[in-house]
Chain A
């Protein structure tokens, strides 16, 4: 039973990491690339770590796995948010099929304030 979980979780993790890599090539604009890679990579890494916890079945490994997952969940979205915000600010173009842009014209170019 443990083997089953290790195999399933690590395979799923590797697949999601692969999908994130393919996503970088396939997505049409920068924001969607950030969107796809942060999440699929987070889930992929998380699944592989859980598989490692099952495989070692030792408290010292499990606690480290939990700590790493918590820190990834805390830091990955903050990084994605900062990169996305900076990209919007310097004017990286959106995909031409983007329907609405509520942020347009809301930034003060000089003071970086958002109205």
Chain B
């Protein structure tokens, strides 16, 4: 997994060096090219999990950007209109993520979506306390965090 990713990067650099064009688009093209080459030579081996993971990472980033823009527009609308629509709560979300890396990434992504701010993690690493600005229904909010960010993130990391 990790070695395949490093090999992919190395092949990208070699591609850029051989073609002699150090432009961003050439790096992206080289990455796609070496990704294809690696996919062909590692087919039917155990290391093939790398090739389901990269599309998932790209999918996660697109999902994150979509959430970011959607929530930013919601907050922006609230800032410019006179009435306040906020229904703030501090809510404890039970965590499925176990390792430090998983919890850190999850908390970071939650803070980066507007309207939510991760305040603290309990000492036994079981609960993440979030300050959220728009919560109509507590259960539905917990469900959306667990099914949205957490499930997708754990899909990638595990």
Contact = CB atoms under 8 A, between A and B. Distances in A.
B143 to A, nearest CB: 16
Given A32-B133, A62-B24, A115-B123, A97 B79 contact: no
A102 B114 contact: no
A52 interface: no
Given A39-B72, A114-B122, A102 B92 contact: yes
A13 to B, nearest CB: 12
Contacts, number: 124
Interface residues of A, number: 46
A interface, over-half SS: helix
A103 B123 contact: no
A16 B72 contact: yes
A19 B87 contact: no
Nearest to B24: A62
Nearest to B22: A59
B97 interface: no
A42 interface: yes
A22 B80 contact: yes
A115 B14 CA distance: 52
B117 interface: yes
B133 A39 contact: no
Given A32-B86, A36-B79, A99-B87, A85 B120 contact: yes
Interface string B90-113: 111000000000000001110111
A38 B111 contact: yes
Contact of B75 (A39, A77, A80): A39
25 contacts: A19-B76, A22-B79, A26-B79, A28-B86, A31-B117, A39-B111, A40-B72, A59-B24, A59-B27, A62-B24, A73-B108, A74-B108, A77-B109, A77-B118, A84-B118, A98-B90, A99-B88, A99-B135, A100-B90, A100-B138, A102-B91, A103-B129, A104-B90, A106-B122, A113-B123
Given A59-B22, A63-B24, 4 more contacts: A19-B79, A19-B80, A38-B111, A43-B69
Interface of B: 22-24, 27, 68-69, 71-72, 75-76, 79-80, 84, 86-92, 107-109, 111-123, 129, 131, 133, 135, 138
